[in-house]
Amino acid sequence: MTIRALYHTARGLQGLTAAERESTASRSIRRRLWLWRRGFVSQSDAVYDLDEASYEEYLSDYQRYVRTKRINGTWSVALSNKLLFHRVMQPFDDQRMAVYGMLRDGTFHAVDAGTMPSPREVTDGGSTVSAATDDGHGTATETHNAAQRVVERLEDEQRLVLKWVHGGGGNNVFLCTRTEDGYQVNDDHYTEAEFRSLVASLDEYLVCEFVEQGSFAAGLYPTTPNTIRLITMYDEVANELFIAAAIQRIGTDASAPLDNFTQGGLSAAIDLETGELGPGAQPPDGDGVERHLTHPDTGAPVEGVSVPGWDRIREQVLEMADACSFVPYIGWDVIVTGPDGEFSVIEANSYPGLKSIQVHGPLLADDRVRRFYERMDVC
């Protein structure tokens, strides 16, 4: 085993241990030992309801945390580094969210050319600060001050997303909104001085466009962005990409301001042929999974609703996956923005979480998916 493989194994085991420690499912020591010997943590038992007859059809937590990390090898960086992924996606500009810049050591570094506003004056806690500085020759030059540039962009757009270049799973993401008396970051209110201090403290964060979801996604639950997760795999025998599974994630009062399943959001399976949603599964607060035909907070229909333009979404995601087929395993997060299958890619993951997928059934029950994981030495 290489040093790199040893490192990823150690990190994977750390993640597995942390997942068990954070589990809210109560299990006896005897049951936990049964689960651990088979590679599962207690929370998965609550989601999957495992037994001797079925557990081998589920990709285990050990396989996910330790072995799937190795699938993409060194090319996993093309997904795990969000700025690099943004560059990889350049041929698909219509599906890319705009990345205005990166924050590093209090400095703003522009990314997408032509996306930042012109220098102007804005108010900072009652005093006026110019977005331009004098270069000593009477010429105005644009400031690189991180807080100033983010405040300036919010003056134009009212909403932004700040996300860590290396983060995943909804962690280290700040949804920023300009309000009448300051700023809202996720669920917290900030004065302008507090907001500037927050931005100045962020290191290696991307300043991204807030993608406006279309009426379909907003109709599911208007308070959060509601994203589709698709997993693509490369079939070496058929020499083609395929979609292994797809779900519609739907925010709830418990998960807001995000739609993450592990934080209490809903996961509805998408029929890969028709785009129709199944019931929304909600993770257990203890044991068992709740399944909702309608949204538990708003009453909006879930089961039977169809993703608009599903054929277009499916084919374009496969086209993007084919363009980077050297990365054979990708979890895509996309948000539907229009009525005819228009969408934006929010991010992609090299070893996506699987509970929100397998809550609808075991992945390894599909022979093509099982063959993929077997060829990749995952199971």
Domain match, 38 and 139 both: no
Domain match, 272 and 342 both: yes
Domain match, 256 and 191 both: no
**β-pairing, 205-209 with 159-164?**
antiparallel
Domain match, 290 and 367 both: yes
Helix (H, G, I), strand (E, B) or coil at 367: helix
- For residue 343, give the H/E element and its range: strand 343-349
For residue 331, list its beta bridge partners. Answer: 231, 349
Of the residues 162, 188, 209, which one is the last residue of a structural domain?
209
Is residue 43 within 8 A of residue 353, CB to CB? The reply is no
For residue 276, list its beta bridge partners. Answer: 306
Domain match, 253 and 320 both: yes
Domain match, 50 and 147 both: no
Domain match, 200 and 115 both: yes
Whole-number pLDDT of residue 169: 58
Query: Is the model's pTM score more than 0.75?
Result: yes
d(CA 267, CA 275): 14
Whole-number pLDDT of residue 230: 98
Whole-number pLDDT of residue 3: 65
Domain match, 198 and 267 both: no
Count of beta carbons in the 10 Å neighbourhood of residue 68: 21
Domain match, 31 and 86 both: no
* CATH number of the CATH domain containing 317: 3.30.470.20
DSSP assignment of 270-294, as one string? E-TTT-BEEEEEE--SSSS-EEESB
Whole-number pLDDT of residue 8: 63
Is residue 226 within 8 A of residue 296, CB to CB? The reply is no
Count of beta carbons in the 10 Å neighbourhood of residue 105: 10
Calculate the dihedral angle through the C-alpha atoms of 278, 279, 282, 283, rounding to the nearest 10 degrees. Answer: -60
Domain match, 238 and 113 both: no
Q: Is the dihedral of CA 349, 73, 378, 231 positive or negative?
A: positive
Of the residues 209, 240, 263, which one is the last residue of a structural domain?
209
Whole-number pLDDT of residue 130: 42
Over residues 15-52, the pLDDT tens digits come to: 777 777 777 777 889 999 999 999 999 989 989 989 99
Whole-number pLDDT of residue 308: 98
Of the residues 156, 176, 209, which one is the last residue of a structural domain?
209
**The two three-digit tokens of residue 201, written as one number:** 């403290």
Starting from the edge strand earliest in sequence, which strands make up the sheet with 99-104, in order? Answer: 107-110, 99-104, 205-209, 159-164, 173-179, 182-185, 188-190
Domain match, 239 and 354 both: yes
Whole-number pLDDT of residue 27: 83
Whole-number pLDDT of residue 5: 63
In which domain, by residue range, is 80 found? 74-95+214-375
Cα-trace Rg, the chain: 22
Whole-number pLDDT of residue 118: 47
Whole-number pLDDT of residue 232: 98
Domain match, 233 and 359 both: yes
**Total domains, the chain:** 3
pLDDT below 70 — which residues of the chain? 1-8, 114-142, 167-171, 286
Tell me the CA distances in angstroms from 267 to 209, 357, 366, one per residue in order. 25, 8, 20
